[in-house]
Chains A and B, each alone.
Chain A
């Protein structure tokens, strides 16, 4: 699969402060790419560089195989973290204005706005002033103006902040639909639960460096600890645990409600692998649950940052 966006060796300094230190990311086409990292890691700086709001000190940004040019803004839709609308301006008028700034004609903008306002059931708000809307309502309008011009690349910075759970789900579904229609989505956040659900690819930023990137499933495999969660019943061997501990690490164990039941956390060590473990267990009882403990994004996030801090 080809990359829609490549940012190569980006460096950005603000005076003495380095925001991005030789950062490279590759965003595959029609994917959802998570840009993760704690506050101040450099996510917003990179996003602003892609949006040509600021210029990098060095490095290049390639969009769709060509270096980024000012005219490319019409191919990008950006919903910043710090977002808002003109409070005194009417919703419809404002959406039209922002759409035209993105290069749409008035006619085209009106047609598409009408579609989206119906879709998100906010047609009644067209003539209202923004200051009359709630924060969540204003966010819906903001979402529409971000995606209205059907950009190839969509960038959302903390998109779910300010939404109630119902509307957050609605927006999440819309983002997935846009991806299915061929749009590429960059999605910056420090909230990990949304990353698990949405992102195929991630890059983890910390203190101006890209410390980890790639396909989320690959990264998870890399971070796996070879630990398995096991629940058994009808255990025939009284010395199961003892025998098990000869070949495997037992991290925790507890007896079940009845004598011949147990739940365990077992880590594979040495030359043994998962198959050896499951074969052994199957010989001595019935397996109710057997699953590998895969780290979630949050654990990966914390581990990687701790590792980065140690390396410094």
Chain B
């Protein structure tokens, strides 16, 4: 036990004192937050710039009030000139684009012959805003022709918003499902990434002991099994330390971010809507946001965080034993390629199943089965968790995971024990199978 502690301590400090560990630990949250801030800033800058659109309405159907300037678009009437001049004016002037409404016999002909010229392909947002404007007016005209009071119709329009409630009476929101999917998918994806990152760390450390030839010195003092376990546990502790540092940094940064930019968050969400609807929707959006926040707070955040840690550990332990065995079997990192595939495939499968199946049916049979199979359960179960999973399923999958881990360590230790003393020859799957029987 004492020796195991020594090994764990050495492995832990070997990882933590490594320069790349420090850089990774400190830089990656800064990078994530920094990138987020950059994207937010850029999209804000993009929205703030006002696009000037020249227009020429030969049909004379559109009204002055239709070309009301919005937050992002400013219309400029070019009707007093010829189309050729108007076009060249737009092309050489400070315009974003040029809208041309031709004169035709019927409204439907006009509707299909409206043209928009621009120097670069126009943004979807601009085009759809223009389309919406034209559609609104042409609709009105058609309705009036049929003798319907379009303004009255506008007034009679209603925007239903169905409130979703659970039977326990809590208010829910349609959007919350997306949020849950987001949380689940990112948790599962993170677990996959961390398993690969830390598993590869274990593997490299085994290979290092082989190539530096210290391995025989060490195993004349401790059992190979102790060395392997010490390595796995020491690396896991380094990983947990990294997690907690990230947690603290992200918490601090998000507090700073919300206090600095918090006021800007709400209007940004409504920025895409046409100006005349913003006022109406603003209250709806706000209450929706409140519901989401309430719902988020009601999500079992602590249990999810706990489960994340437990499933990360379980999955990591299972896979790191495999990684250790691979590291022991080969002499250098390039030789690991042939053995990596069977390790990576179940991990990727887990993520795919998450995207394909859990998203649609978190409690469907495929999702349920793969959240039990130990090689995919850490990923798939994490994706299901935000939707609420019966406790017995969690317990069962954890028991299976643990049992498989014990079995895998026993198997890996056999390969490890032989592999660390083998030099020179690149082993095949058959060789490894033989080692299992020694």
A interface with B by C-beta (< 8 Å): 14-15, 48, 51-54, 70, 73, 76, 78-80, 82-89, 97-98, 100-102, 142, 145
Q: Are A73 and B220 in contact (CB under 8 A)?
A: yes
Contact of B6 among A54, A80, A97 (CB under 8 A): A97
Q: A53-B421, A89-B14, A101-B222 are in contact. Are A83 and B216 (CB under 8 A)?
A: yes
Rank and list the top 10 A-B pairs by shortest CB-CB distance, nearest first. Answer: A84-B213, A101-B221, A80-B216, A84-B212, A78-B220, A51-B220, A82-B213, A84-B214, A102-B221, A53-B219
5 further interface pairs, Cβ-Cβ under 8 Å (given A86-B208, A101-B3): A48-B421, A78-B217, A83-B216, A88-B14, A97-B6
For B209, what are the chain A residues with a Cβ–Cβ distance below 8 Å? 86
Q: Are B220 and A53 in contact (CB under 8 A)?
A: yes
Residue of A nearest to B211 (CB): A84
For B414, what are the chain A residues with a Cβ–Cβ distance below 8 Å? none
B71 within 8 Å of A by Cβ?
no
B438 within 8 Å of A by Cβ?
yes
The CA of A80 and the CA of B423, in the complex, are separated in Å by: 14
Q: List 19 interface pairs A-B (beta carbons < 8 Å), by A numbering.
A: A53-B216, A53-B219, A53-B421, A54-B421, A76-B220, A78-B217, A78-B220, A84-B213, A84-B217, A86-B208, A86-B209, A87-B208, A87-B212, A88-B14, A97-B10, A101-B7, A101-B222, A142-B217, A145-B217
Q: How far is the CB of A130 from chain B (nearest CB, A)?
A: 8
Contact of A85 among B6, B212, B438 (CB under 8 A): B212
Contact of A83 among B6, B214, B223, B438 (CB under 8 A): B214
Q: How far is the CB of B205 from chain A (nearest CB, A)?
A: 10
B218 within 8 Å of A by Cβ?
yes
For B213, what are the chain A residues with a Cβ–Cβ distance below 8 Å? 80, 82-84
For B92, what are the chain A residues with a Cβ–Cβ distance below 8 Å? none
Residue of B nearest to A130 (CB): B212
B145 within 8 Å of A by Cβ?
no
Q: How far is the CB of A5 from chain B (nearest CB, A)?
A: 15
Q: How far is the CB of B45 from chain A (nearest CB, A)?
A: 46
B212-240 with Cβ < 8 A to chain A:
212-214, 216-223
Q: A88-B14, A89-B14 are in contact. Are A83 and B217 (CB under 8 A)?
A: yes
B434 within 8 Å of A by Cβ?
yes
Q: Are B438 and A101 in contact (CB under 8 A)?
A: no
For A145, what are the chain B residues with a Cβ–Cβ distance below 8 Å? 217
| Most-contacted residue by chain A among B208, B209, B214, B218 (CB, 10 A) | B214
Q: Are B220 and A85 in contact (CB under 8 A)?
A: no
Contact of B214 among A14, A52, A85, A100 (CB under 8 A): A85
Contact with A along B412-435 (1 / 0, CB 8 A): 000000000101000000000010
Q: Are A86 and B214 in contact (CB under 8 A)?
A: yes
The CA of A76 and the CA of B6, in the complex, are separated in Å by: 20
Q: Are B216 and A82 in contact (CB under 8 A)?
A: yes
For A15, what are the chain B residues with a Cβ–Cβ distance below 8 Å? 434, 438
The CA of A147 and the CA of B194, in the complex, are separated in Å by: 41
The CA of A78 and the CA of B217, in the complex, are separated in Å by: 7
Contact of B212 among A79, A86, A101 (CB under 8 A): A86
Residue of A nearest to B18 (CB): A88
Q: Are B6 and A100 in contact (CB under 8 A)?
A: yes
Q: A14-B438, A101-B3 are in contact. Are A73 and B221 (CB under 8 A)?
A: yes
Residue of B nearest to A79 (CB): B217
Q: How far is the CB of B422 from chain A (nearest CB, A)?
A: 10
Q: A15-B434, A53-B421, A88-B14 are in contact. Are A101 and B218 (CB under 8 A)?
A: yes
The CA of A193 and the CA of B264, in the complex, are separated in Å by: 84
